[in-house]
Structure 1
Amino acid sequence: MAEQHPSAPSRAASSVATRTHRTGVVHVNSPHRHSYTVVGNHLAQHRELSLGAIGLAVHIQSLRPGTRISIRCLAQRFPEGEQRVAGYMRELEEAGYLERSVERLPSGRLLPRTVSYNRPHSLPEPVRHEPAPPLREPVRHEPAPVLEPPAPVVEPSAPVAEPPAPVVEPSAPVVEPPAAEPEREPEPVRPAPEPVRPAAEPLPVPEAAGRLGEAAELLVGLRRTDPRLLLSEREVTRLAPAVVAWLERDAEPGAVRRTLTACLPPELHHPAGLLAHRLTSLLPPPLPAAPPAPLPFQTCDACDRAFRATEPGRCGTCRPAGTPAP
């Protein structure tokens, strides 16, 4: 049998615990690259909020804007009941992390609205201590040395020689250069007059342009039926050709308006997308060709019988063989 060593440790010690603290929590942090939410310690370590309220606040802050967070929806998402969820939301409202209100739409419908704050307004801003600037040693200005002026040098006196008289040469005639002619400024180039064009006759407006104007008026007037169907000029220009396709298939403007505004969803976030879907998926088929109108009745000139023809004449019985029908 192998020798036993009772002094050897039973298992290897954790390298994480030995490098940090012997007791308490040990953090093993990994960097998040995507899908994460930043939560302040003022919420994670709140002294007055319950553990469920803190968890609910973190869950609400991680949701996308526009997600419904009513008490019923949260109770279906988590195992806690509606009473506990309502209590947690009241705690967050009192702490300033949540604000709930009811907004009345122009149609009279009440719409609940919830605002989540990742930092309450009542929370004071942290005081930032800026580091003091480093002390600089004062610059000592030493006095400049005083320089004494040099003593004047006295030279022995000498006879001063008189300067020679200047030699005067005969003056030559001064020839002045010819005066330069003043430069003339170039005359401005005048544009040639444009030829007079004869007044052109107004071009006929194609039928498609008139249909586009009618389609644009129909789309702009949808907000009179429902204020939520407010479209921009760019959206009206994009959807007008689809409305023209309806009008070209003999659909009345009133029928198009009723189709676009009927059974709208309670929450309408993108009216242009809904209208584009309905204009494409509910486009009616073209009407079948109308049957030809029957020929009018005529009276036979020979037997006074009634027969159908485009012009008066004789019926098929009284008409000679080989004569075309009128």
Structure 2
Amino acid sequence: MKKLILFFIPIAVLAVVSCSENSSTVPEPTEPISREDSIKITLLKPSPTKEPYILLEDAGLEAELIAQGMDTDNQMNGKISVEDADRIEILGKPVSLAVNSEEVKYYGPIYNRYFEVMPILKKEYKEKTGTELIVKKLSDVNAFKNLKKLYVVFPTEKIDSLNLSANNRLEVFETYDTRIKVVDFNGCEQIKKINFTRSPHPLMNTNLLDKIYISQCSKLEYLSYNGDTRILDISQNTNLKYLQIINRGDLYQLEIEKLDLCNHPRLESLFVSVQHYKSINLSKDVYAIYENSKQQNTPNGFSILDASTGGAEINVCR
């Protein structure tokens, strides 16, 4: 009997070990991962901020940089590496994009990421601080020395002033529904386009623009302006080709004697939707085009010309 017992003990042990090994290979059930957690793992995986780095004052702008894939540490930590900052040439996207254009192809992946990431950043910020995540100042963009195109199409709080003089490579500035009162472009020697346009949503127009400084912007070709025209000085911007001056509702009753465009012989497009100009003075060359086109019943030689709303006279400069 003793032999029989000894014979079966190893078999029993072997059976137990075998069952144990088999049970360890059975995967335990896991809960499905949420969409938010998936985005955090794939698009918002944090990494250490590379040194040297720049300190950012505005959490709202930092969120914009992260959402657009420009601040690659993916952390709301008030820092962006100098390497990341120096790579920023375009911030934001144009007010309008042509269908099937190269710009659409460029911005498509960026804004696919943006619309996935930004809601999570806003949610986490509100849970942490109890306040909404919004751009409160734009002065941090001065650190982006290679910035060429700045599109302020994201929500901002009221900004009293924005000085872009440090961004001397800036070529394009565009915004609508601006909450910015004063913008200084002097020092932006390369800038060719400044576009303060109206929001495509009429009920969203809360324009606060009072003044822009552009006297040193000698290469400026395109200007769309909807601020206080009493203090708009374009006398030094002699390369202007496109000029749009949009009426701002709270300044509707102003009366201004004239719009002097004598120093702008390269004008190709003129749109003046301002009731209070009594006269518009054009350079001799531009006026000749205007007169010739009137006789041919064409749009006055310009791509756009609307200066008749307020009954303004079109005169030649003497």
> Shared topology, TM-score over 0.5?
no
With the shorter chain as reference, the TM-score category is under 0.3
Give the structure-1-normalised TM-score.
0.21
More strand by share: 2
